[in-house]
């Protein structure tokens, strides 16, 4: 605990050095903790959270993020972003996240310049350095700070610190954007994102907590000959929740077909966070 306390002190000193501060906020574990610490350390007048809103953000996640910010008495603004209009993003390359983060950070930069904010920050943590994250390149290009990472805070430590603050995100599962449900190389469209969102809301309504609905585009034979595009929903349920499937499968499949999926496949391997 002494080590965690020292890291938290380093974090708070970094926040003070770069205030007034804009915080890229999504409502996830890391950005929620960063927002909470910025509010506690700097006060309302020296910080602002910014949520990037686009079709890739589920409405549920947006509502929950705003509710948490209100509970923290942290000022937050929702800023529409247009990454879907950028062909480089919509084509869904392996570095798709770079274009998303660049869109977000360009918006943060404009806000900072117009309102005299000194620093921009986002929620990368120390563990993230073990992974290839295209968004990190965008952060470097826009000189966005990663104060959690720089303080050496790991995911487990952030969860522990969040628990101590009573944050509801302390034990929340990862919630990457809806575009992550579409395989690289398959175009990201507003229609596909809407299907994924509706599909996941349906699966959640059946009592599942940790899962993914993967959107797989396929070709199907048309009645008049030729082929048409049809989407398959590949459902991945956390292994510890797969015991619920026997009773829920028929309703799960029917609901996914109702939102537009031509076929439904239950992944026997289940879902495991990467």
What whole-number percentage of the chain has pLDDT above 90? 90
pLDDT of residue 227: 43
How far is it, in rounded angstroms, from Cα 160 to Cα 6? Answer: 14
pTM as predicted: 0.93
| 118-143: average pLDDT | 93
| 55-71: average pLDDT | 97
Ranges 3-12, 58-67, 170-179, 212-221: which has the least confidence: 212-221
pLDDT at 126 over 70: yes
**211-221 in b/e burial notation, b at 16+ Cβ within 10 A?**
bbbbbbeeeee
The correct CATH number of 2-164 out of 3.40.50.150, 3.40.50.620, 3.30.365.10, 3.10.520.10 is 3.40.50.620
Are the C-beta atoms of residues 51 and 26 closer than 8 Å to each other? yes
Please state the domain extents for the chain: 2-164, 189-266
How far is it, in rounded angstroms, from Cα 273 to Cα 27? Answer: 18
| 22-45: average pLDDT | 97
């Amino acid at each position: 605990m002494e080590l965690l306390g020292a890291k938290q002190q380093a974090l708070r000193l970094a926040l003070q050095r770069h205030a007034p501060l804009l915080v890229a906020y999504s409502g996830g574990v890391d950005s929620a903790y960063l927002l909470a610490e910025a509010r506690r350390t700097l006060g309302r007048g020296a910080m602002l959270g910014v949520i990037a809103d686009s079709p890739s953000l589920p409405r549920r996640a947006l509502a929950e993020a705003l509710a948490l910010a209100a509970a923290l008495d942290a000022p937050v603004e929702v800023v529409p972003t247009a990454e879907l209009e950028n062909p480089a993003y919509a084509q869904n390359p392996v570095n798709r996240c770079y274009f998303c983060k660049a869109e977000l950070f360009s918006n943060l930069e404009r806000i900072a310049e117009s309102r005299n904010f000194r620093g921009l920050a986002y929620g990368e943590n120390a563990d993230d350095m073990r992974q290839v994250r295209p968004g990190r390149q965008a952060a470097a290009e826009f000189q966005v700070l990663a104060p959690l990472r720089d303080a050496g805070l790991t995911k487990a430590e952030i969860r522990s610190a969040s628990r101590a603050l009573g944050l509801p995100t302390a034990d929340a599962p990862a919630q990457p954007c809806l575009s992550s449900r579409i395989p690289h190389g398959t175009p990201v469209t507003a229609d596909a994102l809407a299907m994924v969102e509706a599909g996941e809301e349906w699966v959640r309504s059946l009592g599942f907590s940790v899962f993914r609905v993967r959107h797989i585009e396929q070709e199907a034979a048309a009645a008049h000959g030729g082929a048409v595009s049809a989407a398959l929903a590949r459902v991945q349920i956390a292994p510890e929740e797969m015991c619920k499937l026997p009773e829920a499968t028929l309703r799960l499949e029917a609901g996914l077909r109702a939102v537009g999926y031509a076929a439904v496949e239950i992944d026997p391997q289940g879902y495991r966070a990467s």
